[in-house]
Chains A and B, each alone.
Chain A
């Protein structure tokens, strides 16, 4: 018999949100049906529904342990095949293996895949490996060992000292040293004190916090209890985005479980320490991810930020000393306490220790969640892990840090991913969103899109943010429809600087970044829109005409078949022609043409 039949065999079915949407729960159920208690199959592997594995684009993901076989894009119908071949015979189902675009071959264990092998998982260490609803799984992987160590082997000051020495900085975007925050808060003799977890992740395309709350909720809870012990707090709140249904469910289940096992409540682990947690459902506004707006929202007030001349470590929630950290920051605390500050400090670069989770999305081959050491180069992220640009089109820019991050051009592809380096070139770390753009992206439209998002999501409290963003949006809208004028660029720059300097909170202070960086690095695109009335990416429809270069066209007919409105005519093997009166400028022909014969002309292009 093959040694794969040993009883330790585990089948891990990813049931993170991405995979669930692709029917992974049905896959899980099918495994249960075939291999469950009542089945007649001789092998009884342990079947688990885990959190997100990161490579959502290739989901649903099924991993089979201990052989580390990973299958991607598994459908419920594939389950019989997997059981018959892999579970019973130890054979591999080739068609379900991961195809590595860099190495151009199929790979058996996900750990050898380019997407995973360059990663270093700390915050995401348990996700995809454990059943988030099973506290036993967490305990098996050192769960709550850090809490026991802190409570019985360390004083509160030693805990704070360890976190300070680790150099951990807030992963929510501001990068404030976590240990220093705890330290300052611990010095205030005002009680009660509060510990808050910011789980109101709202950046479009970012889902690292969601993934942690869904896939490894206990690590967040453990981090928060340790902080409570360190600063002398007995109560914590988890503010979770209301749209995150599964995160709310798993987090609540984990809290109940932890209470049952004596990790929350009074006399934690039979010590004299008392701490409990409560979930607050988010108010549904992007701005509630800003710490002072978040606290206002917990208090039941409108989610508006306040001036932070007095920090929340002194006067936070209900004017009491409060430590607020982001989900990912909390997930880093238990490993730091177990392994020590020195261990953490060796990962990453000086001043930016540890790892950062990025959500790599956009025009990149492997999209998903990626955890890499701080200081990793941007091109390693995009090309090694991300596998490069879809269809190998030319790279144009990367936007980091969420909607108010900046756009980074290819000249800076070797930039180190750390707080300071990103700031220096006009972008930011933010919560770690990385959106890759290719040559079919219009940078003016990108700026306009983010201004639109922010104009709706600004809380509207202060003039500069509310009116400023809206005014910038209107100017950008004019440019994208061909009504821009040259002095619009100067006005955008001037308003951008004022909004950054004069706004009340970080939302306003960073909002102009997409506009300022696109003007700084892609000014030629603005000029092209304003002077030539042309959008070379073919995105701004008022400034675009598609035409076919008859010299290049081989008459393959692909464009004509893909045209949704039958605007392209031509005989096979003869140059085709686009009828402008019918064309809706969807750009399908442009993307599919194998010869690049479809060209983008300006608004007034004459054939």
Chain B
């Protein structure tokens, strides 16, 4: 499939979204709720582009728009840039103290008049939904988007400590605005109102994961891990085994 983006032709695959094609070819389209490996969510709306097909021009969100042969795409028209600015403006009103969003606003030259800004607001979440997606992908489904409209938020059922949460922290890892609180202290990890005991590496003694995570992995893989190793120790172990095998060959 041939797609013309900003004047240049690119070849795309069937089923590919416009944003995937653009990213593959290093064409800059901003987005907040897109993560490679996840399907597009279409939430943040920042990845808007103009698509010209035949006689019609429409604005689409590129992360969920499946490419079609022969379309022409404009990623940076004045209209698109202005809309992106408005979206950043709206996010800035939501999270006036968030460093990431403030930086983004600065980059785009977005200024919110002080009479609209409530600097007392302590909000970091932009409801991009990546955390929920990550949790779903892991097969835990501990958090979800709850409520609707302006009261929408990400939470566990009834805001309680969730029995499904394994404390893996994938949600915090994918969050673009650092909105999820993950605290590690004294061999414990606190996330989503739940406290987990951290497991130490049997080799180096470093706390590296929760017991629930290790159980979850065993369950998913259908195995029983004998030795709990942190990332660097397990890498070292692989290296040692490889070296041993190599020496035997000689």
A interface with B by C-beta (< 8 Å): 285, 287, 302-304, 306-307, 309-310, 454-464, 466-468, 470-471, 474-475, 485, 494-495, 498, 501-504
Which stretch, B85-93, B103-111, B162-170, B222-230, touches the partner chain A?
B85-93
Expressed in whole angstroms, the Cα–Cα distance for A302 and B144 within the complex equals 10
Expressed in whole angstroms, the Cα–Cα distance for A503 and B44 within the complex equals 10
B241 interface contact, C-beta 8 A: no
Chain A nearest CB from B38 CB (Å) reads 15
11 A-B pairs (CB sep. < 8 Å)? A307-B42, A460-B147, A460-B148, A463-B46, A463-B87, A463-B90, A464-B45, A464-B87, A501-B59, A502-B83, A503-B45
Instruction: Chain A residues near B43: list those with CB within 8 A.
Output: 461-463, 504
Expressed in whole angstroms, the Cα–Cα distance for A462 and B126 within the complex equals 10
Expressed in whole angstroms, the Cα–Cα distance for A287 and B147 within the complex equals 12
Task: Give which listed residue, A455, A494, A504, contacts B42 with CB less than 8 A.
Answer: A504
Q: Is the interface of B mostly helix, strand, loop or mixed?
A: mixed
Please determine whether A498 and B87 come into contact, CB atoms closer than 8 angstroms.
yes
Please determine whether A498 and B83 come into contact, CB atoms closer than 8 angstroms.
yes
Among A307, A309, A463, A470, find the residue whose CB has the most chain B CB atoms closer than 10 A: A463
Please determine whether B59 and A467 come into contact, CB atoms closer than 8 angstroms.
no
Please determine whether A462 and B45 come into contact, CB atoms closer than 8 angstroms.
yes
Expressed in whole angstroms, the Cα–Cα distance for A309 and B18 within the complex equals 12
Instruction: Chain A residues near B90: list those with CB within 8 A.
Output: 463-464, 467-468, 471, 495
Please determine whether A466 and B127 come into contact, CB atoms closer than 8 angstroms.
yes
Chain A nearest CB from B157 CB (Å) reads 13
Q: How many residues of B contact A (CB 8 A)?
A: 34
Please determine whether B149 and A456 come into contact, CB atoms closer than 8 angstroms.
yes
Among A310, A455, A464, A502, find the residue whose CB has the most chain B CB atoms closer than 10 A: A502
- Closest residue of chain A to B58, judged by CB? A501
Instruction: Chain A residues near B12: list those with CB within 8 A.
Output: none
B75 interface contact, C-beta 8 A: no
Please determine whether B116 and A471 come into contact, CB atoms closer than 8 angstroms.
yes
Expressed in whole angstroms, the Cα–Cα distance for A457 and B149 within the complex equals 6
Please determine whether B145 and A302 come into contact, CB atoms closer than 8 angstroms.
yes
B189 interface contact, C-beta 8 A: no
Query: Beyond A460-B127, A467-B94, A498-B86, is A309–B149 a contact (Cβ under 8 Å)?
Result: no
B22 interface contact, C-beta 8 A: no
Which stretch, B60-68, B191-199, B213-221, touches the partner chain A?
B60-68
B82 interface contact, C-beta 8 A: yes
Instruction: Chain B residues near A287: list those with CB within 8 A.
Output: 148
Task: Give which listed residue, B44, B79, B148, contacts A463 with CB less than 8 A.
Answer: B44
Expressed in whole angstroms, the Cα–Cα distance for A287 and B152 within the complex equals 14
- Closest residue of chain B to A478, judged by CB? B115
B3 interface contact, C-beta 8 A: no
Chain B nearest CB from A301 CB (Å) reads 10
Interface residues of B in 80-134 (CB under 8 A from A): 82-83, 86-87, 90-91, 93-94, 115-116, 126-127, 129
Chain A nearest CB from B135 CB (Å) reads 14
Among A302, A306, A309, find the residue whose CB has the most chain B CB atoms closer than 10 A: A309
Please determine whether A309 and B65 come into contact, CB atoms closer than 8 angstroms.
yes
- Closest residue of chain B to A501, judged by CB? B59
Instruction: Chain A residues near B42: list those with CB within 8 A.
Output: 306-307, 461-462, 504
Instruction: Chain A residues near B144: list those with CB within 8 A.
Output: 302
Please determine whether A459 and B59 come into contact, CB atoms closer than 8 angstroms.
no
Please determine whether B149 and A460 come into contact, CB atoms closer than 8 angstroms.
yes
Instruction: Chain B residues near A470: list those with CB within 8 A.
Output: 149-150
Expressed in whole angstroms, the Cα–Cα distance for A457 and B116 within the complex equals 23
Please determine whether B65 and A504 come into contact, CB atoms closer than 8 angstroms.
no
Chain B nearest CB from A177 CB (Å) reads 18
Please determine whether B148 and A459 come into contact, CB atoms closer than 8 angstroms.
yes
Please determine whether A460 and B152 come into contact, CB atoms closer than 8 angstroms.
yes
- Closest residue of chain B to A474, judged by CB? B116
Query: Beyond A471-B93, A498-B86, is A459–B64 a contact (Cβ under 8 Å)?
Result: no
- Closest residue of chain B to A470, judged by CB? B150
Instruction: Chain A residues near B91: list those with CB within 8 A.
Output: 463, 467
Among A285, A307, A454, A474, find the residue whose CB has the most chain B CB atoms closer than 10 A: A307
- Beyond A464-B45, A470-B149, A504-B45: 4 further Cβ-contacts under 8 Å? A302-B144, A304-B145, A455-B149, A461-B145
- Closest residue of chain B to A467, judged by CB? B90
Task: Give which listed residue, B66, B82, B149, contacts A310 with CB less than 8 A.
Answer: B66
The 9 A-B pairs with the shortest beta carbon distances in the complex, nearest first, are A460-B152, A467-B90, A498-B86, A307-B64, A458-B149, A456-B149, A470-B150, A460-B148, A307-B42
Please determine whether A459 and B86 come into contact, CB atoms closer than 8 angstroms.
no
Expressed in whole angstroms, the Cα–Cα distance for A459 and B65 within the complex equals 21
B48 interface contact, C-beta 8 A: yes
Instruction: Chain A residues near B86: list those with CB within 8 A.
Output: 464, 468, 494-495, 498, 502
Please determine whether B148 and A307 come into contact, CB atoms closer than 8 angstroms.
no
Please determine whether A309 and B60 come into contact, CB atoms closer than 8 angstroms.
yes
- Closest residue of chain A to B44, judged by CB? A463
Instruction: Chain A residues near B115: list those with CB within 8 A.
Output: 485
Please determine whether A466 and B152 come into contact, CB atoms closer than 8 angstroms.
yes
Instruction: Chain B residues near A498: list those with CB within 8 A.
Output: 82-83, 86-87
Among B83, B144, B151, find the residue whose CB has the most chain A CB atoms closer than 10 A: B83
Please determine whether A309 and B64 come into contact, CB atoms closer than 8 angstroms.
yes
Chain A nearest CB from B126 CB (Å) reads 7
Instruction: Chain B residues near A494: list those with CB within 8 A.
Output: 86
Instruction: Chain A residues near B126: list those with CB within 8 A.
Output: 463
Please determine whether B145 and A501 come into contact, CB atoms closer than 8 angstroms.
no
Expressed in whole angstroms, the Cα–Cα distance for A309 and B61 within the complex equals 10
Instruction: Chain A residues near B93: list those with CB within 8 A.
Output: 467, 471
Expressed in whole angstroms, the Cα–Cα distance for A306 and B41 within the complex equals 9
Expressed in whole angstroms, the Cα–Cα distance for A454 and B150 within the complex equals 10
Expressed in whole angstroms, the Cα–Cα distance for A474 and B93 within the complex equals 11
Among B66, B90, B145, find the residue whose CB has the most chain A CB atoms closer than 10 A: B90
Instruction: Chain B residues near A456: list those with CB within 8 A.
Output: 148-151
Expressed in whole angstroms, the Cα–Cα distance for A51 and B65 within the complex equals 45
Please determine whether B148 and A285 come into contact, CB atoms closer than 8 angstroms.
yes
Chain B nearest CB from A248 CB (Å) reads 23
Chain A nearest CB from B234 CB (Å) reads 37
Please determine whether A457 and B87 come into contact, CB atoms closer than 8 angstroms.
no
Instruction: Chain A residues near B82: list those with CB within 8 A.
Output: 498
Expressed in whole angstroms, the Cα–Cα distance for A454 and B65 within the complex equals 26
Expressed in whole angstroms, the Cα–Cα distance for A456 and B60 within the complex equals 25
- Closest residue of chain A to B118, judged by CB? A474
- Closest residue of chain A to B126, judged by CB? A463
Chain B nearest CB from A97 CB (Å) reads 47
Among B129, B145, B147, B148, find the residue whose CB has the most chain A CB atoms closer than 10 A: B148
Instruction: Chain B residues near A495: list those with CB within 8 A.
Output: 86, 90
Expressed in whole angstroms, the Cα–Cα distance for A467 and B147 within the complex equals 15
Instruction: Chain A residues near B129: list those with CB within 8 A.
Output: 461
